[in-house]
Amino acid sequence: MNAPAVAMTEHANRRSGGRLGRKALRGAPVTSFPTLVREIPAYQMVPDEAVELIHQESLSILEEVGCEFRDDEAIALWKAAGADVTETRVRIDRGLLMELVSKVPSEFTLNARNPERTVRVGGKNSIFVPMYGAPYVRDLDNNRRYGSLADLNNFHKLAYMAPALHSSSSVICEPMEIAVPKRHLHIIHSALKHSDKPFMGIVTSKERAEDTMAMAGIVFGEEFVRDNPVLVSITNCNSPLVWDATMLDAMKVYARHNQPLILAPFALCGASTSASAVGAVAQVNAEALAGVAFTQLLRPGSPQIYGQFMVTVDMKTGAPMGGTPEAAQMMYLMGALARKYRLPWRTSGFHVGSKLNDAQAGYEANMLMHAAILAGANYIWHSAGWLEAGLTCGYSKFATDCEQLIGWYKYAGGLPFDDFKEAMAAIREVGPQGHFLGTQHTLEHFESAFFMPSIMDFNSFEQWKAEGAKDHDTRGREKARNMLADYEEPKLDEGVAEGLADFIARREEKLPDSVS
């Protein structure tokens, strides 16, 4: 990181809950916070011996049971690397596995079209990323309905305006009115047009991944995107122990372009894993490591993100649950393993099962974000908007999550001591029975000393009632509406905008209107 970027990061760690935070909460567009550099220690829930036990069992799973790679080219690559291959079953010697995993850089730069919004991933660095993949939205009138392209545009605008979000994601909600074969073009166009932050790719087919890279090439330059990370994409292992052809196709496109992938098993613990938190982690770790290793067969040294999505299953109904203590505990274990391997790692922050932006949503979100921060996660996904186990993105939830992220940003940045001497001088100045409201120290620090949210209400009951007795959900919708009213588009270069429009038009002519 260059010196100005370091200075910006250090400044943000001291001031992120101060002037910038309050300017953002008032609704005015602001510059994004730089990469969050965590200045608090990572918490390890179990001793090193327990981490080593899980590690060794994961290696044994891959050696003895193996993992399915359902793609001919993947099988050929594993054979050439010396793995034990029987049809699509790949058994990977632990030495080979760890040699490949060790090639992944521990940190990388994720470039934005606006260089001021470029971030670092890995090490002590963390970034917050909004949710992904909701077919439904809970709209500004609190109605649950299918998502549209207008909604997706709005969420990309909100992501751009939220200072503590470091990425615009991509499929925050599905634009359901657009035909599936053409939908990816409009998703990526929206992310590139309405925000100048890093974004996420499409992985539902090889061709859609290639289209994503072509559109990124129009914006960043084809030469640049051959080697420099500009987007992150998600690939999920089908637990238990299957990497399917669709995910492997996407992996091949992005890894060969040096674009980072999240290698994340999608585990419903108790259904697609054993009904054991530590047993689930051993399995998911094996699945993730197999995916990470495969990317290094495609392009050694390419940046990748070790990942997991682990939710417990309600053993009465089979429904996935969000912010449970076991989900948090598994997060701590995955963080310890990621540090062991020196891999950047992804988890989820605010993914909840609640249908509404209510107390349950708050309880669940706090359980998981606390674990994500203390476990040292680098790429904290689903950090804004998530409701109903990911089926719905809520406007109110998006706005209130973004406010909370400013607080978490300040929390993880650690306690600064840069004004401690002046604070002690203020005590001597005031003495007993006085107050500090008029001291020079207070006048200089009142805007930056404490996190002061605007959506949360701390007024008296009488003041709250006089202002309409609005609950948190209502205030969140109002905040989202006001942010959208204040939005100003970060314009693309005219030639780039025309190039994207032309590419989309040409591709749409060739693509069918429905899935055959």
pLDDT in tens, 327-354: 999 999 999 999 999 999 999 999 899 9
Measured CA to CA in angstroms, residue 137 lies from 151, 394, 423, 470 at distances of 8, 6, 47, 21
Q: How far is Cα 213 from Cα 180, in angstroms, rounded to an integer?
A: 18
Residue 68 and residue 242 in contact, taking contact as beta carbons nearer than 8 Å:
yes
Task: Give the sheet arrangement for strand 84-86, strand by strand.
Answer: 84-86, 89-91, 67-69, 242-243
Q: What is the enclosing helix (H) or strand (E) of 242?
A: strand 242-243
Report the candidate in 342, 252, 243 with the shortest Cα–Cα distance to residue 291. Answer: 243
Sequence-distant contacts of 311-318: CB under 8 A, at least 24 apart: 311/267, 311/268, 311/269, 311/351, 311/389, 312/268, 312/269, 312/270, 313/268, 313/269, 313/270, 313/271, 315/270, 315/275, 318/271
Residues 6+ apart with CB under 8 A from 130: 155, 159, 165, 167, 168, 169, 172, 382, 383, 384, 385, 398
What are residue 383's DSSP bridge partners?
A: none
Residues 6+ apart with CB under 8 A from 443: none
Q: What is the pTM of this model?
A: 0.92
Q: How far is Cα 21 from Cα 10, in angstroms, rounded to an integer?
A: 15
Q: For tokens 């939710």, what's the residue? A: 311
Q: What is the enclosing helix (H) or strand (E) of 235?
A: strand 231-235
Per-residue pLDDT, 448:
84
Q: What is the enclosing helix (H) or strand (E) of 392?
A: strand 392-394
Per-residue pLDDT, 31:
64
Per-residue pLDDT, 453:
93
Beta strand segments in 70-212, E: 84-86, 89-91, 107-110, 119-122, 125-128, 136-138, 144-146, 199-200
Report the candidate in 167, 87, 177 with the shortest Cα–Cα distance to residue 129. Answer: 167
Sign of the Cα torsion 192, 195, 198, 200 reads negative
SS3 292: helix
Amino acid at 185: L
Q: How far is Cα 254 from Cα 234, in angstroms, rounded to an integer?
A: 10
Peptide linkage before 240 cis (omega within 30 of 0):
yes
Per-residue pLDDT, 449:
87
pLDDT by position in tens, the chain (length 516)? 333 333 333 333 333 444 444 444 444 445 689 999 999 999 999 999 999 999 999 999 999 999 999 999 999 999 999 999 999 999 999 999 999 999 999 999 999 999 999 999 999 999 999 999 999 999 999 999 999 999 999 999 999 999 999 999 999 999 999 999 999 999 999 999 999 999 999 999 999 999 999 999 999 999 999 999 999 999 999 999 999 999 999 999 999 999 999 999 988 888 888 889 999 999 999 999 999 999 999 999 999 999 988 888 887 787 788 889 999 999 999 999 999 999 999 999 998 999 999 999 999 999 999 999 999 999 999 999 999 999 999 999 999 999 999 999 999 999 999 999 999 999 999 999 899 999 999 998 888 889 989 999 999 999 999 999 999 999 999 999 999 999 999 999 999 999 999 999 999 999 999 876
Per-residue pLDDT, 9:
37
Per-residue pLDDT, 5:
36
What are residue 138's DSSP bridge partners?
A: 144, 394
